[in-house]
Every structure is written in C-alpha cells, then in structure tokens.
Chain A
C-alpha cells in the first residue's frame, strides 16, 4: 500500500495496470486499494505541478504569517477553517513558534492579493495580525525542481 502511494506521489497519471506490473500485483487489486485510499481520504487529489511562469497567465503567490486568537472549545481549527475556505487560499498550516497560521495565497496580481488580505483576512474577528511575504521566484515546489530537466550525459554503452 505504501509503495502504491510512493509511486502515485511521483506520478499521479500512472495507470493501475502499470502499478500492478511494477509491484507484481493484479490490476484489480491495485484499483481496489487505490479506491479505498481515496475513500479514506489518504489520497486527497491527483494534482499537477505547473510552472505558470512559462505560460501567459499572470500569477502571484504570497505567504502570509497570521496570528489569531484560538476559540474556546475549538482551538485553532475553527479559525483556520474560516480562512482556508476562501478559494484564494492554496495552503494553510498551523505552526509552532512566533505566529499561528501560514496561509499561502495565489492571485492574479499583487494588488489582488493585497486586497484579499485587507478585505477578507485581516478583518476576521479572531485574526490579530498578518504579515505578508510575496514569492519572487519558485525554485522547487512539492518536491519538484523548476529548472530545466537534467540531461542524461552518460556514455552510449557501458559494459
């Protein structure tokens, strides 16, 4: 099961048949394990990592440190939920240390992100303060390096 996850984490487009071949299993068996993993919310989504900078679409990413007051009986979860439900929010983590939540926001422009912080995030009752950092360049995300792929520079035949 763990090895199925290891394979899918690297390439979510791979077919059940191919996984079955790699692991010496039955394709039906792989399918039923995969579906079970989906049902149990262990596999959440089959996403694609895109370098938007190479496309015409403009995007801006910001990392926002947020301090909040936890709510009685619900801790941070309820506050976090108020925040992560906004579709602009791509990731949201509870942190140890100086602030409480890391919120990663994507927008079309810096202005759009700034407006989101000013109009949606900061005014929330339990948000005490925000500190916004814009991403200037992405080197690596989700384990994938953004620069050009390495060339295979090995000799043609090695015995």
Chain B
C-alpha cells in the first residue's frame, strides 16, 4: 500500500518532469549502448582469440639417434603436462614428405639431398588451462620452456608472432575499455544525480511543506530514489534493446565464418548485470543529490 503510493508518486514525478526524464533516459541509454557495445566486442574478440589460440601447435624437435623407447618415454612425459591435449609423433621421413608436398614443383631440389636434414618431431595440440580458459600467451611460453628442459629435446617452436602482438593489442583494448567504462559510469551517475537535483529544486516548496508538517524522511526521499532507479533501469534496457537490434541487423546475416566462432550476443545474465548496475547508479546519483540538496 505504502509502496504502491511511493511508486505512484515516482511515476508522477517522471511524468511531470517529462522532458528532463526523457533526456535522462536517452542519455543513459546512449552511455549503456557504448559500454555494452564494447563489452560485446571484447567478449567476442576474446572468444575468437581463444579459438585461434587453441589452434596453436607446439613443435618439439628432438635430438637425433634416440632409441624408440626413449622417444616413447619423451612422449609420455610431454603428455603428462596438464595443458597438453594431444601429442603426435612425426618421424623425419614423414616431415620430409610433407615438406616436399608443400614445395610442390620445387620439390625436386630436395631430391639432391643425400641425407634427410629434418629431425624427428612431436606436434603438440594445446588444451585448456586451469579453469577451462584458453591458455594465455604467457602460459604457452612457460609450457614451451618446460618442454625444452628435457635433455632429449633439441628445439621447441610454437605460435605465430602475430598472435602475440594481437594478444597484447587486445589487452590494451581491454584496459582502454575499462578506463572509458569507468568514465561512463561516472558520467551516468552524474547525469542521474543532476536530474534529481533539478527536480528537487523545482519542488523545493513542496518538499519544505512536507518536512515542516512532519513527513518522515523516507516519505520524502523514497519517490526520488524510485524515480532515479527507474530512469537508470529504463535507460539501460533501451540501450541494450538498441544494441540487440543492431546486432541482429549486422550479424544475423553477415558472413562470420572466417572468425571461426559464432558472434554471440551478451548473455542474459550480462544484460541483467548491466541493467541492475544502471539502476544502482540511479540509486547512487539520487543519494548524492539528496544528501547535498535536501537538508532540514
């Protein structure tokens, strides 16, 4: 009953201040659109990179003249690493055949060789690390150097240089995104606080009368909190809806096969988190405003 009354007054507040309420909702939805677009981008880019990373193979070249049992033992040891998913032995002859195939019509050069110059090798497919995340580039590096420590190992090669660079660019993006996100959170709180401040100013007389006749604090303040939370939530919901529409427009038909993963929308949990965060910012902005502009 009391709650319904507060809601009624909050809705009335919004209606009576329609212009500024709309302005606030639009601004918040733009900010949420920016943030959630970025989250969507980071989220999908991360998954694309994970899939690329899980495609990385580590090549382990082994010393010549090892016995078959020594090779088997080495294979065992390598398989024992948690991060290693699968190990294939590639005999030097097979490697040479492969090389010939790749060289195509230039292959006859290799026929002049008296001896196969290639070493025996293992090819390693990398699995997931602890916590089912794709390995980071650092983790791949550590795995490689651990394998190199075996005395039977001549050399370890892995990964493409570009992936490392891509990885660091991606991390840089994440940091920038976080910074911009913080600024946007600050801006959204400020905008909501400012809206409440304007409305508090506009109703100064009314609030004073309420206070002087003995209205409880919560009677005066609750509608403002509700109003601010509604504006925050509505803004976030609209921002996400716009993002979803855009997502459907760009990605439902777009050819994304080359990325090797499906471009997914934010999970419903992520959407909830965004909406509730925005509502929380509404609460926070209102709190600042009332603290500063509603004294008795």
The reply to whether chain A is a binding partner of chain B is no
